Structure 1
């Protein structure tokens, strides 16, 4: 055999040996990967099964998963994703937009002082109300899930009826039930169901309770909270009439009793609404609302609207 043919044969043999070693290395690498993947998913399976197991491990959980769940829109909602909560007499020509977050302490303060006035105007047909509910407090320093969980429960209440929604929202904001924003109590379904027992339409309502426990309206909640920043709103409570942002007078920074604070807050809301929508039903233009504070203080009584 010539040297040239001998070298060629040796080169071919070395190439075959190299290729075989590479094949064995790949097999060993594949075997190790299968073992590792098998340990992760708990079983040794075919490549397709292992891939599925690894995919399952990386799937989102909790509220991240809720954003990808099937959308179930509560009854009595409007819009493509059911994010328009419009309540009131269809014949009412005007619409007041209210932006709130269930964990928001300022919202709770508003609802406790002026919520009844707003509901009175709503029921009398002075305007319809579109509610936009946020959950931005969950993402702030205190963290948590209470805003989102409570909003999901509100979706379940809205599915029962608009009245159930309004009554439940009032109960959640009440001084009796509303927690400090640093306490994430509304993240617990048990707390939400306990508050719901105060609402006749929800007490003992098995369908409602099931929806709360199973998170039926979690995806809807994520659609609602995705509206954060609509019309530039980044804080709550906020009020709009069309594209006009309504602003209440500031409460004086001075010492006062809770009753004084509540009265001033209530009067400021009425003043803002009257200025925008005209006099309340049954009150002529220029006539003083007999239920409003301010002037007419009895002798010896402190005027809560006065300065220091």
Structure 2
């Protein structure tokens, strides 16, 4: 074989070697991207458990934020910032901080609604709902505020619980500020028997009657040292996403309440009798 042919073959082998090395590098980069995407997915799933309340101080009041603070009828607790559901004398209390735009809140509500209602009906549990607006601060918009005001308006006419559930059952994707539209909130009110036509409800929604109350509730959330929504406490102890070392599940949650209520009588007095009107606070 001539020297010229040997040189040509050597050059071909070298080019093939270079090509193989390039392919190996591309494959390594591809694997790195796949692994990185998987890690991001895991982090995203973890974030869905509880939304960190960063930038929540960006929230702004709505149309009624400059007027007097009007707490919804039957609101209780410090500064009347809690809306109670269930029996007032139930032996256990679940404290829930939620944002109607928060996807993790929707996941919690839709997964545990039946269990919570069963315990409420049995007089074993009262739920104190507190409303926050951190998604408005994080994502922009006013849907958290508008939905919370509408829920407070529903409380005025004794329809908070079913309307609260309807909002979470029809929750838009987090970036979609659909709840900023009062017309959408009134449309969803039509799914709750008697709410849309209840005296004063529509005007309350459109006027932002409880906006300042909602703003004060969100301020209380910010000042409470909570990491995000939903914040769920059973008799003052955090139970979401877990209680101690145990993950929350409907079965575990029911067991925790049963254990806490052992030897205690169930409640019989409704927390919020039907009422209308809101009182200045």
Note whether the superposition's TM-score is higher than 0.5.
yes
Larger Rg computed on CA atoms:
1
Tell me by how many angstroms 1:79 deviates: 3.6
Unaligned runs of at least 5 residues, structure 1: 1-61, 251-264, 282-308
Query: For 1:157, what is the secondary structure of its paired residue?
Result: helix
Map of 2:251 onto structure 1: 270
Matched, 1:216 2:209: yes
Deviations 1:92-129 (A, max 9, x none): 12211112110011111222221121112112111111
SS of the equivalent of 1:210 reads helix
TM-score by length of 2: 0.65
Distance 2:233 2:207 in 1: 34
Give me the whole-angstrom Cα distance separating, in 2, the residues matched to 1:231 and 1:93.
24
Alignment of 1:132-281 (within 5 A): 132-140=130-138, 142-161=139-158, 164-174=159-169, 177-229=170-222, 231-248=224-241, 268-278=249-259
Aligned to 1:106: 104
CA RMSD of aligned residues (A): 2.5
Q: What SS does structure 2 have at the residue aligned with 1:156?
A: helix
1-side partners of 2:180 and 2:148: how far apart?
10
Q: Match for residue 82 of structure 2?
A: 84
> Deviation of residue 231 (structure 1)?
4.4
Q: Which has the larger share of strand?
A: 2
Gaps of 5+ in 2: 1-59, 263-281
In the TM superposition, 1:54-73 aligns within 5 A as 63=61, 66-73=64-71
Give CA-to-partner distance per residue, 1:17-68, whole Å, 9 cap, x none: xxxxxxxxxxxxxxxxxxxxxxxxxxxxxxxxxxxxxxxxxxxxx7267443
Deviation at 1:147, TM superposition (A): 0.3
Q: CA deviation at 1:280?
A: 9.3
CA distance in 2, matches of 1:276, 1:90: 16
Deviations 1:234-266 (A, max 9, x none): 31222112332114459xxxxxxxxxxxxxx9x
Q: TM-score, normalised by structure 1?
A: 0.60
* 1:180 Cα deviation from its structure 2 partner: 0.4
Distance in 1 of aligned mates of 2:68 and 2:241: 40
Figure out how many residues of one structure are paired with residues of the other and give that number.
200
Task: Measure the CA separation in 2 of the matches of 1:135 and 1:189.
Answer: 16
Query: Using CA pairs below 8 Å that are at least 6 residues apart, which structure has the higher relative contact order?
Result: 2
- Of the structure 1 ranges 145-154 and 126-135, higher mean CA displacement relative to structure 2 is found in 126-135
Structure 2 distance, partners of 1:235, 1:184, is 19
The aligned runs of 1:9-48 (5 Å cut-off) are: none
In 2, the alpha carbon distance for the partners of 1:83 and 1:280 equals: 26
1:178 is paired with a residue whose SS is coil
